[in-house]
Structure 1
Amino acid sequence: MKIENQYNSDHQPIGYAVKDWSRREYPTKVLLEGTYCRLEKIDPIRHIEDLYHVYGPTSPSKNWTYLPMEPFESKAALATYLKTISQSQDPFHYVIIDQVSGKALGTLALMRTNPEHGTIEVGFVIYSDQLKKTRIATEAQYLLACYAIDDLGYRRYEWKCDALNEPSRKAALRLGFTFEGIFRNALVYKERNRDTAWFSIINSEWADRKDRLESWLDEANFTVEGEQKRRLNEC
């Protein structure tokens, strides 16, 4: 639904009215429950064994090309990192738990939170190969978006990535984010330039995106072997 701008007394176009707006809250919820997975606030003790397979030295190097960090060479180093991020309010880090196996398969976070204006970003998306291209990966993103937009009431939900990171860009579009453009020379990381691709979902379009995700995630959309009957872009 397109929302029309309005005009002031000088006949100048101005943004549409946002009535009764109030400052949003920071993320605090420690458990987001789904059908195939749950998101738990990172616990450096309970989650370290599983996450060492995701973050540790056996993790494929290609998984770290577009991340601002490298795999951890020791469990002790990872433990220190997990303790630090578990205490962070922004980013607010979650671990993705498979409901069947109980294993932690990856992480993601709500970050760059702006409560005054109602903007928030999903980031620190780090998946094991076991998690990629699964129902769990999609549901994890769905759960986080529901929390940010439905529960906390944020108006703008962002996704950003290196403009050369084609898998991340495709994932954003598949999930229903709108591509907004490239910020050139946005960052320097790993001694190289990063142009950043920006994507967003805004609150006025979330209901449509949410219905689409729920249709795809419905158990009836999968065979007993777990194969999808309809692709997400067909829902």
Structure 2
Amino acid sequence: VTGKHVRLERLAQDHFPDLWENMGSHQDLWTWWPDGPYETREEHDKMLSEFMEFLKDDLTVWTIILVSGPKQGKGVGLALGLSEHRDSHRIGELGLFFGPDLQATRAGTEVPYLVTDLLFKGNHRRVGWKTNSLNKQSTNAAKRYGFVHEGTFRQDQINKGRSRDTAFFCVLDSEWPLCKAAFEKWLEDENFDEQQRQKRNLQEIRESLK
């Protein structure tokens, strides 16, 4: 899957060196992840290898590869598309793990657009997003992308020895056309000035299209 700023490739071992350099070695990124951080590349690669072994037909993991800029062709993050076991209900879920090169960038915004669109093209009725309720970067991103907060499961998990409340968000198939159109408008070159600053934010564009 190739967009204007990123290409999504199925996670493979030849991606591991880039992912360690551009994601895994940044220990501050692992605060909200169930595992990590990793002290060595060997530990990181072992985790990715085990991750690949457990991949099922209902879970796809892509390496996010930049298609332009100084790190063109490099893997800089992971995207996950999950189809829940309740296949007859057609429920999907989106997961993201961004290295610094994707954070607060046009490329980083293109990733959820591409993955969510893939999930809806796969005949899902809803696509979910769940995160630690304390992870404000993630909860704010979900709202920015157009996912609706549906509630919080208290004491839902224990993550690294700490109780986790899980915030749930989703977008429905009936809501996706508006969200998709807003993503596409926001990603247009015309929405950015010469310094690559956005002229209108994603929420403003989405509201204007209603």
Is the CA contact (8 Å cut-off) linking 1:41 and 1:86 kept in structure 2? no
- TM-score w.r.t. length of structure 1: 0.80
Indicate the SS of the match to 2:46: helix
Residue 122 of structure 1: which of 89, 94, 103 is its match? 94
Matching residue's letter, 2:154: R
Indicate the SS of the match to 1:225: coil
Post-superposition offset of 1:212 = 0.8
Specify every segment of 5 or more residues in structure 2 that has no aligned partner in the other structure, as ranges.
Answer: 206-210
Which residue is equivalent to 2:208? none
**1:71 paired to 2:37:** yes
Is the CA contact (8 Å cut-off) linking 1:97 and 1:104 kept in structure 2? yes
Post-superposition offset of 1:83 = 2.5
Post-superposition offset of 1:226 = 2.2
- TM-score w.r.t. length of structure 2: 0.89
Q: 1:213 to 1:136 in 2, by over 3 A?
A: same
- Distance across 1 between alignment mates of 2:5 and 2:192: 12
Residue 143 of structure 1: which of 114, 139, 148 is its match? 114
By percentage of residues, which structure has more helix?
2
Is the CA contact (8 Å cut-off) linking 1:48 and 1:79 kept in structure 2? yes
Post-superposition offset of 1:75 = 2.0
**1:232 paired to 2:202:** yes
- Distance across 1 between alignment mates of 2:145 and 2:52: 27
Post-superposition offset of 1:232 = 1.0
Is the CA contact (8 Å cut-off) linking 1:97 and 1:105 kept in structure 2? yes
What percentage of aligned pairs have identical amino acids? 34
Q: 1:129 to 1:55 in 2, by over 3 A?
A: closer
Which residue is equivalent to 1:176? 146
Specify every segment of 5 or more residues in structure 1 that has no aligned partner in the other structure, as ranges.
Answer: 1-31
Which residue is equivalent to 2:18? 50
Which residue is equivalent to 1:194? 164
Indicate the SS of the match to 2:178: helix
Is the CA contact (8 Å cut-off) linking 1:40 and 1:94 kept in structure 2? yes
Post-superposition offset of 1:126 = 1.4
Which residue is equivalent to 2:65? 97
Report how many aligned residue pairs link the two structures: 199
Is the CA contact (8 Å cut-off) linking 2:23 and 2:98 kept in structure 1? no
Is the CA contact (8 Å cut-off) linking 2:23 and 2:76 kept in structure 1? no
Matching residue's letter, 2:131: C
Is the CA contact (8 Å cut-off) linking 1:142 and 1:213 kept in structure 2? yes
Pair member with larger Rg:
1
- Distance across 2 between alignment mates of 1:193 and 1:152: 34
- Distance across 2 between alignment mates of 1:111 and 1:205: 19
Post-superposition offset of 1:108 = 1.6
Post-superposition offset of 1:80 = 2.5
Post-superposition offset of 1:167 = 0.9
Matching residue's letter, 1:86: M
1:183-228 C-alpha deviation (Å, 9 max, x unpaired): 1111111111111100000101111111111110112212343221
